[in-house]
Amino acid sequence: MEDSTELTVIEATASALVRPGASIPEIVALMDDYQSLCQALLHDSDWQTIQGKRFPKRSAWRKLAVAYGVSFQIIDREITRNEEGELIAADFVVRATAPNGRYADGWGAASVAEKGPKGRGVGKLYHDIPATAETRAKNRAAADLFGMGEVSAEEVDRRAMYAPDEELKALRSRLDGLDQFLADDLRDWWKEERLPAYPNLTHEQAASICDKIDALSTTGEAWGEEENE
């Protein structure tokens, strides 16, 4: 008895149409799920209103990325400096990858020509330029991967990177309430971390300062208790 192997050649049918990857009900359900997730997961602080329209901020995209199990990887970056060696621009390419292996690459750029908080020139905020470019690239990659290409607040206006006035006022109140000992410790830490001046803080930087104040206050209370024993 002889073994025989038959090969069947299946010819692919060419089509000028790009067909959906799922049924219409499935696609509509996924879109509805995305909208419902945004409503349930995101808060007002995750949105920035620019010229009367709301745009999702960095915090919104990071929350959604965690919800979808998406990871980020920097594919390429380019830092541009002038003849004096000062940083003047940055370009990033970031890849967002879903658990199923599907990915999207996002490009983001920032330069000193843009406006900083309160509409002022960026000036000495050189350290914010790469951060802004990276944020824009991550937001774009996330938006293309699962956000239906929605534009982020940081892409429209770099000032969306900075802490809102209400958050800065709350931080100022806490700073004004520090005693001299804790204020000196915080000032030293602020310099070590190379954080910008108070009006130029991002939301994440303002939050880290609040965390540091909490830590210093706890340490100060413990030290005071030991002194009283």
In the chain the domains, ranked by start, together with CATH numbers, are: 22-155 (3.30.390), 163-229 (no CATH)
- Percent pLDDT > 70 in the chain is 75
- How many of the other CB atoms lie within 10 Å of CB of 132? 25
**Distance (Å, rounded) from C-alpha 55 to C-alpha 68?**
20
Contact assessment for residue 90 and residue 129, using Cβ atoms and an 8 Å cutoff:
yes
**Distance (Å, rounded) from C-alpha 186 to C-alpha 210?**
10
Give 74-89 pLDDT, tens digit per residue: 999 999 988 888 888 8
Give 96-146 pLDDT, tens digit per residue: 999 999 999 999 888 877 655 544 444 445 567 888 889 889 988 998 888
Query: What's the predicted TM-score (pTM) here?
Result: 0.60
Q: Which of 131, 158, 139 is nearest to 64 (CA)?
A: 139
Cα distances (Å, whole numbers) of residue 84 to 2, 46, 81, 131 = 81, 38, 8, 21
